[in-house]
A and B are shown apart, each in its own frame.
Chain A
Amino acid sequence: MSWIIAIAIIVLGVVLTLIRAMLGPTAADRMVAVDSMTTITTALLVLLALYFKRYIYLDIALVYAVLAFVATLAVARYMEGGL
C-alpha cells in the first residue's frame, strides 16, 4: 500500500512538468521541461519494476535513460544551430 503514495507524488511531478511543456513561452522552456520529465520518468519506471516484481523492467529504464540523453543532446545542438 505504501508504494501508491510514492507513485502518486511522482506522477504529480510529471503532470507539473507537462503543464510547463505545454505553455512554455520559448522552445528552450519546453525542452528543459521535457528533459526533466524524462529523468522523472526513469525513476517512475524503476518504481514500476518494484511494483510488478519483474527484473527485466529495469532494462527498460536504462534504455529509456540512454535514449533520452541522446535526444536531449541532439535537440540542444539543433537549437544552437550546429546540426
Chain B
Amino acid sequence: MLTAIGWFLIYFGAFFLFLGALGIMRFPDVYNRLQAGTKCTTLGALSTSIGVGFLHPAWLPKTFIIALFILLTNPISSHALGRASYRSGVKLWEKSVVDKCKEFKECVEEENE
C-alpha cells in the first residue's frame, strides 16, 4: 500500500515538473513564465520527494526536510526574481491587462529616489 502511494506521488510530481517546464517554454512573458515555473515546480519537487520517502520509510525524515526547504525557499526566490525583473525595466506582454505597481506609482518613485 505504501509502495502504491509512493509511486503515485512520484508520477504526479514528475507530470507537474514536466508541465512547469512546458509553461516556461511556451508562455510569452517573463512574469507568466515565472508564475508557471515556480508553482508547478514547487508542487512537483515536493510531491516527488515525499513519494521517495514513502517508498523507503527510513528515508522519510530527510526527504521531508528537502520538501520543507523547497516549500519555504522557492516563493522567496521567485519574489526576488519578479521584483528584479520589474525594476530592471522588463516590459509586460502587450496583451497584459493590469499593472498595479505602475498605477500606484510606488515602484517608479522608489526607483527615482
**Which A residues fall within an 8 A CB radius of B?**
2, 5-6, 9-10, 12-17, 19-20, 26-29, 31-33, 35-36, 39-40, 42-43, 46-47, 49-50, 55, 58-59, 61-62, 65-66, 69, 72-73, 76-77, 79-81
Which listed residue, B63, B76, B77, B88, touches A80 by the CB 8 Å rule?
A: B88
* Secondary structure class of chain B's binding surface, majority of residues: helix
Contacts of B56 in A (CB 8 A): 50
Q: Are A20 and B25 in contact (CB under 8 A)?
A: yes
Residues of B33-59 at the interface with A, using a CB-CB cut-off of 8 Å, are 33-34, 37-38, 41-42, 44-45, 48-49, 52, 55-56, 58-59
Shortest CB-to-CB span from A44 to chain B, Å, is 9
